[in-house]
Amino acid sequence: MTEKFRILGGETLKGEVSVGGAKNSVLKLIAATILVKGATKIYNVPHLTDVDIMLNVISDLGAHCTYDREEQSVIIDAHNISSITAKYELVSKMRASFIILGALMSRCKEAIVALPGGCAIGERRVDFHIKGLEALGAKIKIENGYVHAKASKLVGTDIYLDIPSVGATENLMLASVTAEGSTRIQNAAQEPEIVDLANFLNTLGADIVGAGTSEIIINGVKLDSLHPAEYTTIPDRIEAGTFMAAIVATKGKAIIKNVYPAHLTFFNDKLIKMGASIKLVEPTTIEVSCRNRFNSLNFVTQPYPGFPTDLQAIAMTLLTTSNGVGIITESLYENRFMQVPDLRRMGADIHQDRNHAIVKGVKNLTGATVAASDLRAGAALVIAGLMANGETIVEKLHHIDRGYEDFEYKLANLGAKIKRFDDVSFNGNSADTASSIINIKGGV
C-alpha cells in the first residue's frame, strides 16, 4: 500500500518533543559490533527502516540481533560470524551499509561487499575507501558488482583523504582497529557521528585519538582484546534541526529535549540571524520560538562544522516565505535540489542555476500534492505543508521513514494537523479523521 501524509497547514506548534538517537551514527555502531566476539548492547537506537536494513546486513553475516523497541535498544551477539559476504539485495537498499567492508576486514581480514550503486542526491564515490584499504595492505578486486578485499594482515600507515569523506573516514577507522601499528587518517571528516564511532570503538577496547579533528590516529590492538560493552548513541542533530525548523516555521514555541546544542552551532546561528529565539534550558534541552516573519539569509553547505547538507532542503523551505532573497549553494551533492519543483507547486519563487538556488520570499505557500524524493527533501516538504494555507498531501513516505521515527506523532503532539493514511483507508475526510496508523517494517 502507498502511504501518504495529509497535512492541514496554519497550526502553531507548541509543547515539547524529544529527539531520538542519531541515525547516521547508530548505523555505524551496529556495523562495528561485528568486531567483538560477544554480545554488545546499544541504547538510544531509533526504530527506522535504515536501522532494520543494517541489522539485516549483520544478521546475514551470522550475528544475532535482538531489538527492544520499548527500551530503544539492540543487543548484538557477533560471536559467530559465518559469512564475509554482504549481499547486493541488502547493501543496495542503503548506501551506509557499505561501512561493513571496514568492519569485516578488521574482524576477518577478508570481505566481499556489494557496491552500493546509485544515490538519489548525487554521486558518492567509494574510491577513497578502496585506496585507503589498499594503503593498509589489502588486495582489492572489483568484479560482478562486488568489492573483494583480502589481506594476510593489515599494517598501519598514513592515509590522506582528498576530501573529508564521512563514509571513507568511518570505513578506514574500522579497518584500522586491528591493524599492526598506527594508522593516521589526515583530512578526516569531523562530524559528531565520527566522534561517536570512535568513542564506541574505544569502549570496546580500541585505541583511537583525535576524532572530531582533521587528523585521527588509530593504534592497532589485537582482535581478541576487544570486548563487549554497553553504549548510548548520541542524539540525532538532523532530527533536532528538523523540529527546530518546524517550530519556527509555524511561528511556534516549544521545548526540544535530548539534543546536543554544540552539534548544531552553525544551524542555530543561522536561525537566530533569521529571527528565531533559541534558549538553553538545560544542557540537553532547548526552547525554540519565533514570532515574526523570517529575514532571508544565504546558505552554503560545507562539511562539519559548516552548514550541514542534510538541513539544506529545510533551510530552503524556511526561505520560501522569508523577507527578501536568499541564496543557497549546495557544494557537496549535485542532485540535492530535488525538492525545488514541489516547493514551486506550493507557490515558492525559486530559481535554480546548477548548484545555486535563489529563493525570493513569498507571502505564503499553498497546499498541494507533493512527493518526497529523498529523506531530507521529504522532511522539508512536511514543514512546507505545516506552513502552507490549506491541505498538503505528501507521498512516498518510505523515504521519510528511513530517518524519522514516529514523525507524524511527534508533530501531532506539538499541535500539527498531520495524519498518515493509505490508498485503502483514504475516504476524502479532513486530516483530523484520516488514518494515523504507522507502518514501519518490523524490527529484527
Among 65, 108, 119, 290, which one carries the catalytic annotation?
119
pLDDT band at 424 (very low <50, low <70, confident <90, very high): low
Residue with cell 512546507: 384
The enclosing H or E element of 76 equals: strand 73-77
pLDDT band at 430 (very low <50, low <70, confident <90, very high): very low
What would the pLDDT profile of 16-51 be if each residue is shown by its tens digit? 999 999 999 999 999 999 999 999 999 999 999 999
* 290 is an active site residue: no
Which grid cell is 155? 599494517
b (16+ CB within 10 A) / e for 295-304: ebbebebebb
| Cα 348 to Cα 176, 276, 316, 339, distances in angstroms | 48, 21, 10, 11
Q: What is the largest CA-CA distance in the chain?
A: 65
Stretch 128-156: mean pLDDT:
95
- 190 and 215 in contact (C-beta within 8 Å)? no
DSSP line for 311-352: GHHHHHHHHTTSBSEEEEE--S-TTTTTTHHHHHHTT-EEEE
- 283 and 257 in contact (C-beta within 8 Å)? no
Higher per-residue pLDDT: 115 or 367 = 367
Which grid cell is 220? 592497532
| Cα 266 to Cα 237, 253, 263, 307, 330, distances in angstroms | 12, 20, 8, 6, 16
The rounded distance, in Å, linking the Cα atoms of 240 and 234 is 12
For residue 1, the model assigns a pLDDT of 64
The rounded distance, in Å, linking the Cα atoms of 262 and 266 is 9
What would the pLDDT profile of 62-114 be if each residue is shown by its tens digit? 999 999 999 999 999 999 999 999 999 999 888 889 999 999 999 999 999 99
Tell how strand 253-257 and strand 14-18 pair up.
parallel
The rounded distance, in Å, linking the Cα atoms of 141 and 130 is 10
**Domains contained in the chain, CATH given:** 3-19+235-422 (3.65.10.10), 23-222 (3.65.10.10)
What would the pLDDT profile of 242-256 be if each residue is shown by its tens digit? 999 999 999 999 999
Higher per-residue pLDDT: 47 or 423 = 47
pLDDT band at 441 (very low <50, low <70, confident <90, very high): very low
pLDDT band at 426 (very low <50, low <70, confident <90, very high): low
pLDDT exceeds 60 at position 302: yes
- 8 and 431 in contact (C-beta within 8 Å)? yes
The rounded distance, in Å, linking the Cα atoms of 330 and 252 is 28
Q: How many helices and strands (H and E) does the chain possess?
A: 14, 24
Q: Quote the Cα angle for 382-385-389, to 5°.
A: 175
Closest CA to 422 of 442, 433, 432, 437: 437
- 52 and 69 in contact (C-beta within 8 Å)? no
The rounded distance, in Å, linking the Cα atoms of 62 and 437 is 33
**Rounded percentage of the chain residues whose pLDDT exceeds 90:** 87
Half-sphere exposure of 211 (CA within 13 A, CB side): 24
